Amino acid sequence: MTVDTSPEAQPESPPQSSLGTAAARNLATTTKSAPQMQEITSRWLLRTLPWVETKGGAFRVNRRLTYTVGDGRVDFVQDGADVRVIPRELGELALLHGFDDVEVLTALADRCVQRDFRAGEPLVERGTPAEHIHLIAHGRVNRTTVGPYGDEVSLAVLADGDRFGDEALLDDDVRWDYTATAATDGVLLTLSRSDFAAVQSSAPQLRAHVERFRALPLQRQNRHGEAEIAMSSGHTGEVALPGAFVDYELKPREYELSVAQTVLRVHTRVADLYNGPMNQTEEQLRLTIEALRERQEYELVNNREFGLLHNADFKQRLQPHSGPPTPDDLDELLSRRRGTKVFLAHPRAIAAIGRELNRRGLYPNHVDLGGQQVPAWRGVPILPCGKIPVTKENTTSIIAMRTGQEEQGVVGLRQTGLPDEFEPGLSVRFMGISEQAIISYLVTTYYSAAVLVPDALGVLENVQIARTRD
């Protein structure tokens, strides 16, 4: 049996008896949302930093005088498989801090010998004579020693730019009091005491500098390197009390306010005719300010002048012991400062922390922060910050900080009371109307961040966040 499907054979559709939906929408007022923006994040850093009013556009951090010098990291240049230390970077060594004779530094750099190492290879053995300083160009090195009960204990994990064995250049009788073992493949450069002495013998300016360095320990200092305040305690009778004064740094650091700006443009026709039910100018301004605040938080984390990642003291930079962020690593990060108020981590790093806790059968507690429950470790909230970079090797950093001016912590800097201020520290200025009938507004915010004392800020670097097989 065949069926006729030709148009002539199809039954006629009944006539439309009601208004169609397509036509009805033209007469209906839709229910609409305000303009949405995927870039907006929680911006926990801006919310947790206490903000200090910064008149004059600069904030000076006065500190006690410190004698701790040369604690930075050393940089290298690579030419294929060959690695060389940059001569001026040798000034990061405590012994050579402030020594700027490039010719002598170049002679020392030329005597550094490259050594490639493999994972698991012992680099120095505890108890053996220390005759070289080792500069790590690439890779990770574990420092261990023997504990009081005969077991092996971990001292530190060193990585790119770190060094060990500074004391070997001056002391003929020094021995290694720890064992250094390669945790990964890598490269280091070594400078022997004999090569250093050979360069020193032909450079009188270096000899004079070394003698000045040897005299530095005569300056009494506390364990933080600050000039000691003399005092007496536990005495009886009428003893002569020592005189004291608190010495200050002569050239304290000043943080100048940085700026983020943009020009918002709105056509007068849009502002005049399309302002219902939502004000177009206000919505444009709202989204522009959101983007400006996102840039502000990014700069507070990554700016090379005042960003948290670049302003952490080198003594406060730690390496994870095994790669992923374990509870042991978080505990060590906490132990470097009193009163840590907050962890900041990339969301993927927070997920990695959760995996390590699950692996050990631990469950993080939660704390209330502004009415919101957030995960915490040892009572310190772990807050997400997507502005912390993730490298192509799937590594990132975790920031720990103490905040507040009264606590000698990390503070945000801003100036309020600006002309045409729209929000604290943010102004919106009318710039006029162009010949093309475009209204322009200058949107500006000024900000910075200051670390009042070095131990207020710590960073756990090179944290592995890629998921590994169990």
Report d(CA 140, CA 182) in Å as an integer. 6
Report d(CA 242, CA 264) in Å as an integer. 64
For 97-104, the CB contacts below 8 A with 24+ separation are 97/69, 97/70, 98/69, 98/209, 99/205, 99/206, 99/209, 101/203, 101/205, 101/206, 104/199, 104/203, 104/205, 104/206
What would the two tokens of residue 18 be? 């009601």
For 280-287, the CB contacts below 8 A with 24+ separation are 281/439, 283/34, 283/35, 285/422, 285/428, 285/441, 285/443, 286/34, 286/35, 287/35, 287/37
- HSE on the CB side for 330, CA within 13 Å? 23
- At 173 the pLDDT is 86
- At 269 the pLDDT is 87
Report d(CA 66, CA 455) in Å as an integer. 14
- At 222 the pLDDT is 57
Task: Give CA angle at 209 (206, 211), nearest 5°.
Answer: 110
CB 325 within 8 A of CB 344: no
- At 67 the pLDDT is 53
Tens digit of pLDDT at every position of the chain (470 positions): 555 655 566 666 667 655 465 765 566 667 778 888 898 899 999 999 999 999 989 999 887 766 544 556 788 887 667 888 888 888 888 888 888 888 999 999 999 999 999 888 999 999 999 999 999 988 889 999 988 888 888 888 888 888 999 888 888 889 999 999 998 888 899 999 999 999 998 888 998 888 888 776 545 555 555 666 666 676 667 766 665 555 666 778 899 999 999 999 988 888 888 877 788 888 889 999 999 999 999 999 999 999 999 888 878 888 898 889 999 999 999 999 999 999 999 999 999 999 999 999 998 889 998 888 999 999 999 999 999 999 998 999 999 999 999 999 999 999 999 999 999 999 999 999 999 899 999 999 999 999 999 899 999 999 999 887 65
Report d(CA 132, CA 124) in Å as an integer. 10
- At 218 the pLDDT is 46
Report d(CA 73, CA 138) in Å as an integer. 12
- At 34 the pLDDT is 84
Which residue in this structure is represented by tokens 């060990």? Answer: 164
Report d(CA 141, CA 122) in Å as an integer. 9
Radius of gyration of the chain (CA): 31
Cα 399 to its chain centre, rounded Å, is: 6
Length of the chain: 470
- At 154 the pLDDT is 85
- At 159 the pLDDT is 86
